[in-house]
Amino acid sequence: MQVKGKTDPVLLREVRGIPSLGLQVPRAEIRRSPRVEVTIPFTFRRIENKIVQPAPSEGTTRDLSYHGLLAELGEPVAPMTDLRLEINLALLGRRSTDVYAKVLKSFVLDGKPVCGIEFTSTDPATAFDIQRFVQMVLQGSATK
């Protein structure tokens, strides 16, 4: 890697532990994108046997990233449940209707059912819009 003050590249190494002392650095989760706190209502439909169920349910996004969201739901949803989300990105004048996702974890927060949800499939335009929305919130262009 090139660094200021050196003409030749410098070799960088990551310290993961000191085996002779029996020490290891704890594994740290690395986020794939920034997360922003938002309050965006959305609807979702469960997918069972690869069929999108007709009955929509309501949820509220608590935070959003490029690859998923933390959602407060009106009902408990089990981990590994597949969903089809409809997210209203009104700031961009767009409603994303074909966001497919999977519930990774479910828990109760402040007495309400909450789920960590990862996007599994979106069209390129929707993925771009979600990234643009997150960036706008980070830059202070959007209201929560």
**Domains (range + CATH), the chain:** 36-138 (2.40.10.220)
What does the pLDDT read at residue 92?
Answer: 64
- In tens digits, the chain (144 residues) has pLDDT values of 788 888 888 888 777 777 888 877 765 555 567 889 999 889 999 999 889 999 899 999 999 999 999 999 888 889 999 999 988 876 666 777 789 999 999 998 888 889 999 999 988 888 888 888 888 888 875 444
Residue with tokens 């090139």: 2
pLDDT at 59 (0 to 100):
92
pTM (whole model) above 0.75 = no
> Is 40 within 8 Å of 69 (Cβ atoms)?
no
Instruction: Give the C-alpha separation, 57 to 40, whole Å.
Output: 14
Q: Dump the DSSP string for 6-75.
A: -SS--------EEGGGTEEPPP----SS--EEEEEEEEEEEEETTEE-S--EEEEEEEE-SSEEEEEESS
Contacts of 111 by beta carbon, 8 Å cutoff, 6+ apart = none
Q: What CA–CA distance (Å, rounded) separates 45 from 22?
A: 49
Measure the CA angle with vertex 116, ends 85 and 88; round to 5°: 30
The Cα 122–Cα 19 span in angstroms is 44
CB 120 within 8 A of CB 81: no
